[in-house]
Amino acid sequence: MDACITEDIVLTVSVEAVHAANTSANPAAEDLTSEALLDRILTSLDQDKAEEIVQIDLRGKTSIGDYMVIASGRSTRQVTAMAEKLVDRLKQEHGRACKVEGKEAGDWVLIDTGDVVVHIFRPEVREFYQLEKMWLPAGQA
């Protein structure tokens, strides 16, 4: 099986599992709209001095979530700290369980909240992968 297809299947299953865990374990998490969740994520990243924050509307484009947020931190330490704080805030304030990948390395942390997928990069790593070009309409990247 193609690695990209396998990765997409794993991510899709992961998103569905996180959503199921969020809504069954905490009914209040279901009341949080994807727009309200996006707003809380953007606020958290702004408070933690994230740079170049970009939000991408995924509705109608994919089933992995409603929004994607891409942001940069100046160092591995800042990337890791922003990710930890965001996950903790969502859990404490909204009972939202998140799936986190890449926190150990701190170059690129992916936080899957179910409705919003958050990528926090070191600038060099973000430049290398250029996720904005993949997801934003032509001319907006």
In a domain, 91, yes or no: yes
| pLDDT of amino acid 63 | 86
Query: For 115-129, what is the mean pLDDT?
Result: 95
Averaged over 7-16, what is the pLDDT? 47
Give domain status of residue 141, yes or no: no
CB 102 within 8 A of CB 86: no
**Looking at the domain assignment, is residue 32 inside a domain?**
yes
Residues 6+ apart with CB under 8 A from 108: 79, 102, 119, 120, 121, 122, 125, 126, 129
Parent domain of 85: 3-135
Q: What is the mean pLDDT of the chain?
A: 82
The domain total for the chain is 1
pLDDT digit string (tens) for 42-59? Answer: 999 999 999 999 999 998
- Asked if residue 29 has pLDDT above 80, the reply is no
pLDDT number for residue 127: 94
65 falls within a domain = yes
